[in-house]
Amino acid sequence: MSQKETPSHLRNIWGWLIPLGVFGLLTAVTMLIALRRNDGHLIYAQDDAYIHLAMAKNLAFHGVWGVTRYAFSASSSSPLWTAMLALGMRLVGNHASLPFWYNLALGVALLILGERFLCRRGLTVPQRVLALCLLIVAMPLVPMVFSGMEHILHTVVMLAFLLALETVWETPQASKTRGLLLGLAALLPLVRYEGLFLVAVTAGLLIFRRRWGLGIGLVALAALPVAALGLWYVRQGWWFLPSSVLVKGSLGSGLGPVSLFSLILRRFLTNLALAPQMGFLLLGLLIGLITQWKRAQRLNGEVMLMLVVLGTSLLHLALAAVGPMMRYQAYLVASSLLVLAGPLFNLDLRRWFSTPALAHTAQALVAALILALAVLAGGYMTLNTPRATTNIYHQQVQMARFVRQFYNQSTVVLNDIGAVSYFTDAHVVDLAGLATREVAQARLNGTFGPQIISDLTRRADAVMIYTAWFPEELPAAWQIVGEWTIPENLICGDDTVTFLAPRADTAATLRTNLRTFAPYLPALVQQRGDYLNP
């Protein structure tokens, strides 16, 4: 049967079936390599994944919203993801694999939604297959699965929002879709607080077009869950926003307009330097926007979506962060690629060149220039995902094993809290401030130092931190007992974890415990310290 004779529904299925096969194959190969490197254990490529798992465990089985079961802490920047994990634990038990299976299912949903999005652009099946395969690599989708975090969920909700927005923009009387759009606006900040950027840009464009009711409704519904959670956090003695948002994203207080603008500009330029592929995608969005505007001569659905993605990207780069594994900007890379697919495939350069062949060559070069860095960066991260999981296994997971064996219900001091909090029942003092309010407050006030650390760690039995993070802030009385150094570090905050005794009476016990545990560390972890001496 020829392609012309093939029923359209059979032809269309290949538009998402082939990308699903590519996604499944890459995920399976990555899993096999990672399991082999990690002694058969499923390990996530981010310690932050275990923060969500720890909070979900404590919510599901102890009724506590916190990193430990002993106290409340507003440490999650994705309340919905944490709640989804807690629900899964209540239904099937405390399984560390839950984030992996969630992300696998969400990856499938993303590719199906992406195929529908590209269908609306009128792309052929081969074009849709190519675009989705590029998305898998550039996002990058497989590393997001192994991150164990909410970034695929964020991208799926954003894409559903864009699809609903396009329908509502072109067909204002579509009441059901308008209701869906409003519901998704309420959901976005619960997935990640950066969802507010998308809602703000969309509402601004709607109000500009005098669609006041819908624009104000989007803002109100997005603000409602943020306000409800914020008031709950405040009642628990924390801040209106999660500590992770405040500590990692603070712009500072008491700044004048000029200083604030300068700081925002520096953050924007720093983010572009850290994620240069975003600069090329911004350029592509501008080219696509001009091309589509000239073609449509009006603010149609496609132009609207490009404006929304462009505005959201600019706000994120100015006010938020780009991060390791490309996870913070993953939703922007995916949405940019999808809205750019149509303009890039249909870019008409014939009037600039003497022959169609030259025009097509130039079109391919423009597309390659815009997408090359995103694909290369995503491809690099995809290839190195097993290495990232091994970093976490060699460092954070071994720290958790050590704490579970010797300090399971004791107080320990950390700066990476995820794996230890999830795999043990230890009391945690978090020197990064995500789980310890006093540390976060001191960091926000600029008063963090040795005295505050000493006050918070008087009852601690062991300290496991990156000393390079605290060059002038550690108490002088702390005694270094040992160090673990991992090879080929890609994802951890430092390749060396230092073990310190916070008081003289804890040093001998810590030394003995490290000596006892030493034979059980992976062979590639380099150990140093006098505890190794017989």
Residue closest to 192 by CA, chosen among 146, 234, 226, 240: 226
Residue 471 has pLDDT above 70, yes or no: yes
Please write the tens of the pLDDT for every residue from 142-166.
Answer: 999 999 999 999 999 999 999 999 9
- Average of per-residue pLDDT values in the chain: 91
pLDDT tops 60 at residue 11? no
Q: Residue with structure tokens 């864009």?
A: 162
Judged against a pLDDT cut of 60, whether residue 3 lies above it is answered with: no
Residues 6+ away with beta carbon under 8 Å from 367: 344, 345, 347
Strands across the sheet with 496-501, in order?
A: 427-430, 411-414, 462-465, 496-501, 479-485, 526-528
Confidence (pLDDT) at 4: 44
pLDDT value, residue 350: 59
Measured CA to CA in angstroms, residue 394 lies from 47, 100, 147 at distances of 12, 20, 16
CA 355 to chain centre: 45
**Is the pLDDT at 373 greater than 80, yes or no?**
yes
From the list 60, 64, 67, the residue with the least C-alpha distance to 90 is 60
Amino acid at 170: E
pLDDT, tens only, 20-72: 999 999 999 999 999 999 999 999 999 999 999 999 999 999 999 999 999 99
Q: CB 447: neighbour CB atoms within 10 A?
A: 10
pLDDT given for residue 345 in this prediction: 79
Contact in structure between 117 and 19 (CB atoms under 8 Å):
no
What is the mean pLDDT of the segment spanning 372-387? 94
Predicted confidence (pLDDT) per residue in 298-317, tens digit: 788 888 999 999 999 999 99
